[in-house]
A = this chain, B = another copy of it.
Amino acid sequence: MQRVNVVPEQLSFSPVVQGYWRLNDWNMQAQDILRFVEQGLELGITTTDHADVYGAFTEEGLFGQAMKLAPGLRDKIEIVSKCGILFPCEMQPDVQVVHYNNDRDYIIAAAERSLRELHTEYLDVLLIHRPDPLMDADAVAEAFSRLKQSGKVKHFGVSNFSAAKFALLQSRLDFPLVTNQLEISAIHTEYLFDGNLDYLQQQSVKPMAWSCLGGGGVFHDFQYKALRECAEAIGEQHNASLDQVLMAFVLALPSCPIPIIGSGNIERVRQQAAAVDIKLSRQQWFSLLEAARGYTVP
C-alpha cells in the first residue's frame, strides 16, 4: 500500500489507519494487542488512532501495556491521539457533566498523560477532539507550541471541526494543522456538501475519516436496504465485500480522506484495508450516493 503524505517530508500515514476506539471491547491482553499491531504492520498499517477519552480514559493505558512489551515498536508506528472531552466515569470522579476543556494547561497535562499511558516519549499527532464553543484559539496555540518545542508532540490537528473553526485555530499557529478527523461515510455525507471538505481540499489538508462504514446499521437496518443492495451489486462487479465498497466510497473523495478502521478482527481489517485498491467508477459512486439519500443528484 502506498503511504499518504500528510506533511511533505515530515509525516506520512499508512493509507488506512487502525483505530483503537473499541479496544476495551476486544478482550485482548497486552500480548494479544501487540500481536494485533504486528499483524497490522504486516499489512502496511502503521498509523494508530487513539484518544484519552476512549474506553472511558483507559484505552491508551491498555495499548501502552502492549507498547511496553516491544520497545522497538515505537519507531515503526505513528500515534495519533486526542484530548478535550470529559464525561462522568470512574476515571474522572470530579466530572458531573459531559463537557470540553481546551485550556492551555489542560491540553498540556492531557498530552503528558497520554504519553505516560501509551508508554511513549512523543505523539506523532495530537488532535483537539471536538469543536468547543469555549475554545480560546490563543490558549490552544500556546499549548501546541509548548508541546512542540518540548518534543512531546510532533504535529497537531483537530477533529469534527467546521471550516470556520479550523481557520480560526490555524490563524493563531505558525505551523500547519495536519488533519481534521471527520465522520464521513455513504450515510454521513454532510461534509461533502457543506464546504468542509472543499475547504480541506483547498488547504491541501488530508482529513482522517471515522465511521466510514456508517456504524453497524448499514449491515442490517431496514432503512439502509437500498444502500446495502446497491453496494452489494457493485461489490459483485469488483469481487468486493460490502465493507470494501463502503470504504471505497470514502477513498474516492478528492480531499483524500484517510479511513480509520474500527475493527479488532485482523481478517476484517485486512479486507477493509484492501479497499484502497478498489476504484469505483463515477457511476458506481453516484449510485451509492443516490441509494443512501433516496434521490438523484440534480
Chain A residues within CB distance 8 Å of chain B:
87, 95-101, 103, 130-131, 133-137, 139, 160, 162-165, 167-168, 171, 189, 192-199, 201-202, 252-254, 282-283, 285-287, 289-290, 296-298
Contact = CB atoms under 8 A, between A and B. Distances in A.
A297 to B, nearest CB: 6
Given A98-B296, A164-B198, A168-B201, A192 B133 contact: yes
A150 B65 CA distance: 62
Q: How many subunits of this chain does the assembly comprise?
A: 3
Contact of A134 (B87, B252, B290): B252
B287 A97 contact: yes
A285 B99 contact: yes
A257 to B, nearest CB: 12
A120 B87 CA distance: 54
Per CB-CB distance, the 5 closest pairs between chain A and chain B, nearest first, are A164-B195, A99-B286, A136-B254, A98-B296, A133-B192
A103 B283 CA distance: 13
Given A134-B252, A193-B133, A287-B97, A162 B198 contact: yes
A92 to B, nearest CB: 11
A99 B133 contact: no
